[in-house]
């Protein structure tokens, strides 16, 4: 009896203390908003871009996707992190068992938000391709606020902005660019509306085309003649197979090594850039990925000037 009373009293004290120290946090996201009673500590992230962001912010993560972990985030492959399903299909039971106080979904897992939200507060931090950099920095700012890392978030965003500005200046007068995606021996083209559209919209690289949308993740199918006719000054290549299988990496280069592509300005000038496929295809919009891709393009563009 006494023990029980003690427990009740203790619980009361804790509850009072809790309600005093914690302020509730409201997080707006792409599919509504959720309210948390306190700063989340057990965080499940079903999207590599946001794992990337939280890692850069220095926030600890409880569980991550069990598939497609990019090389630069390979520490999340270890058993220290719960593996909660694939990038496309979160393991709902596993997430329920992990008892998280915040779940983050985005892009490939965003459709699970309503379902996961019944288990734990779940936010959809997908970005808006139309407003790429703003969207990425908004995510970072939001994560910074949620986890009390506002200063680091501001620092990261400032760095991203300066890299975008630097690249924007560097691409002036460098000609027009085309982004290709290669998959299973076929090529597709990505335009300004696609997942690499920021190269055109934000960085200001003129595109050789303006009417392609990203309705298929392999881009719009195109022939080598198409590349020859559009004759881009720069070709950026996303090797989808390598991104997914993380092996080889010669596939795309071998595909493009043919007599029609040899006629393009991009080939003659050596302006074919193989974007880091995991960062460009799998992660797409995490802080480190974007930062590294901006660097990669900057180095390529300034290499011969």
Partner 1 sequence: MTHPAALPCAILAVVLLAALSLFVGVTDIAPMDVLRGQADARQMQVLLASRVPRTLALVLAGAATAVAGLVMQMIVRNRFVEPSTTGTVESAGLGLLVVTVLAPGMPVMGKMLIASLFALAGTALFMRILRMVPLRDVLLVPLVGIMLGGVIGAVTTFFAYRFDLLASVGAWSMGDFSGVLRGRYELLWLAGALAVAAYAAADRLTLAAMGRDFTTNLGLNYRSTMVLGLIIVSLVSATVLVTVGVIPFLGLIVPNVVSLMIGDNMRRTVPWVAVMGTGFVLICDILGRTIRAPYEIPIATMLGVIGSAAFLFLLLRRRHHAAP
Among positions 15, 245, 268, 299, the unique one binding partner 1 when judged by CB under 8 A: 245
- What is the x/- site pattern for partner 1, positions 176-195, by CB under 8 A? -------xxxxx-x------
Q: Does 259 bind partner 1 (CB under 8 A)?
A: yes
Q: Residue 215: is it exposed, middle or buried by C-beta count within 10 angstroms (0-12/13-18/19+)? A: exposed
* Binding range to partner 1, per CB under 8 A, among 41-49, 145-153, 155-163, 223-231: 223-231
Helix ranges (H only) for 209-250 are 224-230, 240-245
- What is the x/- site pattern for partner 1, positions 36-75, by CB under 8 A? --------------------------------x-------
What does the alpha-carbon distance between residue 109 and residue 95 come to, in Å, rounded to a whole number?
Answer: 13
Among positions 260, 265, 296, 302, the unique one binding partner 1 when judged by CB under 8 A: 260
For partner 1, the closer of residues 28 and 248 by Cβ is 248
Neighbouring C-beta atoms of residue 273, cutoff 10 Å: 18
Taking the C-alpha atoms of 105, 110, 111 and 113 in order, what is their torsion angle to the nearest 10 degrees?
40
Give Cα 142 to chain centroid, integer Å. 15
* Binding range to partner 1, per CB under 8 A, among 22-30, 135-143, 164-172, 237-245: 237-245
Count of positions on this chain that bind partner 1 (CB under 8 A): 29
Return the H-helix or E-strand segment holding 187: strand 186-190
Q: Does 248 bind partner 1 (CB under 8 A)?
A: yes
In the complex, least distance from residue 81 CB atom to partner 1, rounded to whole angstroms: 19
Q: Does 240 bind partner 1 (CB under 8 A)?
A: yes
Longest CA span, the chain: 88
For partner 1, the closer of residues 59 and 209 by Cβ is 209
Residue 231: left if φ>0, alpha if ψ -120 to 50, beta else—which one? Answer: left
Q: Does 264 bind partner 1 (CB under 8 A)?
A: no
For partner 1, the closer of residues 189 and 273 by Cβ is 189
C-beta separation of 170 from 164 below 8 A? no
For partner 1, the closer of residues 62 and 209 by Cβ is 209
For partner 1, the closer of residues 23 and 216 by Cβ is 216
In the complex, least distance from residue 182 CB atom to partner 1, rounded to whole angstroms: 10
In the complex, least distance from residue 86 CB atom to partner 1, rounded to whole angstroms: 9
Complete DSSP assignment for 3-72: HHHHHHHHHHHHHHHHHHH---EEEEETTEEEEESS---SEEE--HHHHHHHHHHT---SEE-SS---GG
In the complex, least distance from residue 230 CB atom to partner 1, rounded to whole angstroms: 8
Single out the residue of 273, 271, 284 nearest to residue 217, CA to CA.
284
Among positions 111, 138, 176, 224, the unique one binding partner 1 when judged by CB under 8 A: 224
Among positions 92, 96, 138, 244, the unique one binding partner 1 when judged by CB under 8 A: 244
Phi then psi for 13, rounded to 5 degrees?
A: -55, -45
With a CB cutoff of 8 Å and minimum separation 6, the contacts of 295 are 163
Binding residues (CB under 8 A) for partner 1: these are: 68, 183-187, 189, 212, 220-226, 228-229, 240-241, 244-248, 255, 258-260, 263
């Amino acid at each position: 009896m006494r023990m029980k009373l003690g427990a009740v009293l203790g619980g009361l004290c804790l509850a009072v203390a809790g309600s005093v120290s914690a302020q509730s946090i409201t997080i707006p996201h792409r599919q509504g908003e959720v309210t948390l009673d306190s700063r989340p500590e057990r965080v499940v992230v079903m999207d590599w871009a946001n794992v990337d962001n939280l890692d850069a912010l220095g926030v600890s993560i409880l569980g991550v996707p069990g598939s497609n972990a990019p090389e630069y985030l390979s520490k999340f492959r270890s058993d220290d992190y719960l593996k909660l399903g694939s990038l496309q299909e979160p393991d709902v039971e596993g997430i329920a068992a992990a008892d998280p106080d915040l779940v983050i979904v985005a892009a490939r897992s965003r459709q699970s938000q309503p379902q996961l939200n019944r288990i734990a507060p779940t936010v959809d931090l997908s970005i808006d391709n139309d407003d790429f950099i703003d969207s990425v920095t908004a995510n970072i700012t939001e994560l910074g606020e949620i986890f009390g890392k506002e200063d680091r978030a501001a620092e990261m965003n400032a760095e991203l902005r300066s890299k975008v500005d630097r690249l924007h200046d560097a691409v002036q007068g460098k000609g027009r660019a085309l982004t290709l995606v290669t998959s299973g021996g076929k090529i597709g083209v990505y335009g300004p509306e696609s997942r690499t559209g920021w190269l055109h919209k934000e960085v200001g690289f003129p595109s050789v085309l303006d009417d392609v949308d990203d309705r298929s993740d392999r881009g719009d199918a195109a022939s080598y003649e198409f590349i020859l006719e559009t004759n881009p000054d720069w070709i950026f290549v996303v090797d989808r197979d390598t991104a997914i299988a993380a092996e080889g990496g010669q596939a795309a280069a071998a595909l493009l090594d043919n007599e029609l592509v040899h006629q393009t300005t991009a080939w003659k000038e050596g302006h074919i850039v193989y974007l880091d496929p995991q960062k460009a295809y799998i992660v797409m919009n995490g802080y480190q990925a974007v930062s590294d891709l901006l660097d990669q393009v900057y180095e390529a563009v300034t290499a011969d000037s």
